[in-house]
Amino acid sequence: MEAGALFCTCLVGSDSWPTPKAVDFLGRVLELGEKLGAMLTIETHRSRPTFHPWATAELLRALPALRLTCDFSHWCVVCERLPDDETVLALAISRARHMHARVGYAQGPQVPDPRAPEFESELSAHESWWQRIALAVAARNEAVTVTPEFGPDGYLHHAPFSNQPVADLAEINRWMASRQRVRLAQEPPLVAPVAQP
């Protein structure tokens, strides 16, 4: 609150909880945010109640005030495919507040390098979702915010035996930030700034 944050992304709960327990817990998280005067968003993430599209849709239907930080890369690996249920995607996108710009694929939450031509379809799908999120956020007169979130801790691929990274992580995140800043600024009516990485 002292830093003047627009919102706070929460990585909370467990995928092992039955839906009623998750609804109760996340409802209390939302109450806490309201009491503090802070928007708290819940990240779509493996090992959490939002670990896959259909569980997340149940939570969104039960909690109309629930807002998301969308990292659909986690759904890719959990579903072992690019998410393809348009009804669920549309619901999640309509409740998104922030997005993590990492590209997942059927066998992992992070492609080795999103610039590689073999991951063109995955990059295209993610960028389509991010564009839709940005349009939904802008329609609510909120600032469009993005975190390029390619990470090192178990996410970045390494060559066997040498353990050398297959790509430069900082370079990938800079490339993704620059690319999304340009792409999202070109889509009317997006006029809100995209967050710096």
Q: Could you give the CA distance from residue 103 to residue 101 in angstroms, rounded to a whole number? A: 7
Is 190 among the domain residues?
no
Residue 185: what pLDDT?
84
The count of domains in the chain is: 1
CA nearest to 73, candidates 41, 27, 112, 110: 110
Give a yes or no: residue 194 inside a domain. Answer: no
- Structure-block tokens of residue 169: 């992580």
| Measured CA distances, 18 to 7, 22, 23, 129 (Å) | 27, 6, 9, 28
Nearest in space to 192 (alpha carbons), one of 2, 10, 3, 6:
6
pLDDT tens-place values along the chain, 197 residues long = 889 999 999 999 999 999 999 999 999 999 999 999 999 999 999 999 999 999 999 999 999 999 999 999 999 999 999 999 999 999 999 999 999 999 999 999 999 999 999 999 999 999 999 999 999 999 999 998 999 999 998 999 999 999 999 999 999 999 999 999 999 987 554 434 444 44
Please give the structure tokens belonging to residue 81: 């495919």
Buried/exposed 132-155: b ≥16 CB within 10 Å, e otherwise: bbbbbbbeeebebbbbbbbeeeeb
Gyration radius of the chain's alpha carbons: 17
Phi first, then psi, for residue 9 (nearest 5°) are -80, 130
> Is 12 among the domain residues?
yes
The two beta strands, 67-70 and 146-147, are: unpaired
Domain-embedded: residue 3? no
> In this structure, is residue 30 part of a structural domain?
yes
Show the domain range for 136: 8-185
Position 1 in a domain = no
DSSP state, residue 29: H
CATH number at residue 57: 3.20.20.150
In a domain, 196, yes or no: no
* Nearest of 32, 70, 65 to residue 48 by alpha carbon: 70
Judged by DSSP in three states, 68 sits in strand
Whether residue 13 is contained in a domain is answered as yes
